[in-house]
């Protein structure tokens, strides 16, 4: 799953925030094979996005049992 833009995070509903919270890889994970400078840039950018996802996740109350079941555990493309 690709990292969303910051504006997408700001506009996302609770279900989408929960999907990202569950399925996004750690910041920088997809850049492990890049040169250090590119890896660092990607990791820093993704870390800011993940921090905002986590903030919104907490603000929205996180998962409900129903939402967790709806999203499931199968990672989407």
Q: What is the pLDDT of residues 6-65, one digit of tens each?
A: 999 999 999 999 999 999 999 988 888 888 888 999 999 999 999 999 999 999 999 999
Residue 76's pLDDT band (cuts 50, 70, 90): low
Q: How many CB atoms lie within 10 A of CB 3?
A: 20
Gap between the Cα atoms of 44 and 12, Å rounded: 21
Query: What pLDDT was estimated at residue 77?
Result: 46
Give the chain's radius of gyration (CA, Å).
13
pLDDT given at position 74: 86
Domain boundaries, the chain: 6-71
């Amino acid at each position: 799953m690709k990292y969303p833009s910051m504006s997408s995070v700001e506009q996302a509903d609770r279900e989408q925030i929960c999907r990202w919270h569950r399925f996004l890889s750690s910041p920088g994970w997809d850049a492990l094979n890049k040169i250090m400078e590119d890896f660092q840039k990607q990791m820093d950018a993704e870390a800011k996005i993940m921090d905002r996802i986590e903030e919104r996740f907490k603000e929205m109350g996180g998962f409900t049992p129903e939402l967790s079941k709806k999203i499931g555990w199968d990672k989407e493309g």
